[in-house]
Amino acid sequence: MLLIAGLGNPGRRYAGHRHNIGFMAADAIHRRHRFSPWRARFQGETSDGMLNGEKALLLKPATYMNESGRSVGEAMRYFKLAPADVVVIYDELDLPPGKARVKTGGSSTSHRGIRSIEAHIGKGFRRLRLGIGHPGRRDLVNRYVLHDFAKADAEWLEPLLDAVAEHVPLLASGEESSFMNRVHLATADDDGANDLPDAPPAAKPARSAERKEGGIGGAFAGLKRLLGQKS
């Protein structure tokens, strides 16, 4: 059985916040696949379904982000799951908007929801990090994550959520690399630039021979020719 926990804060007030992209991903999975109606359970909302022939449980903790581990831990213990059976979806400041990464375990993180889950179930769970970008300054982070996505963000947010929902069955069968490849192909820009690091400023193109003949360079060259003819 696979437990997929999307992280966020409960309530309409927080629904559109960047911090709630985990809830948004869980809802997208729920819409795409044949999952049962949401119901209150394990200090959150849950829905049952099947992914690649594997039973799956969607979970949206209602404990608020900082206490997400209480809900995830309760569900995991009830079904006698190991941390490896858990996938947690959450927002990642250190990934560019629209990027997604999957990894198992990892070092300590500044994400309070993940810290709470680590405290309750350990570090061996899989993490699906969805990039929301960084505001640029640490003192702006809280306001940034606890604020609605901008309208322009829909250009990358909707394709990302759609891709995660469509290809999440690959996570159920342990095919993380295939999942990442499919999500990348679905969300990459047409020119592939979405998967490249920020490029340094382009070097100025060399001036053509015709352009070199003009301006100061051209005048200097002409003067040299004139003096050469007189000498």
Query: Furthest-apart CA pair in the chain: how many Å?
Result: 99
Q: How far apart are CA 25 and CA 222, in angstroms?
A: 67
Q: Which member of 19, 30, 111, 167 is catalytic?
A: 19
Torsion of CA 196, 124, 112, 97, to 10 degrees: 20
Report which residue type is found at 99: K
Q: How many CB atoms lie within 10 A of CB 154?
A: 10
Whether 19 is catalytic is: yes
Find the distance separating the first CA and the last CA of the chain, reported in whole Å: 92
Of the CA atoms within 13 Å of residue 201, those in its CB half-sphere come to 2
Active site residues: 19
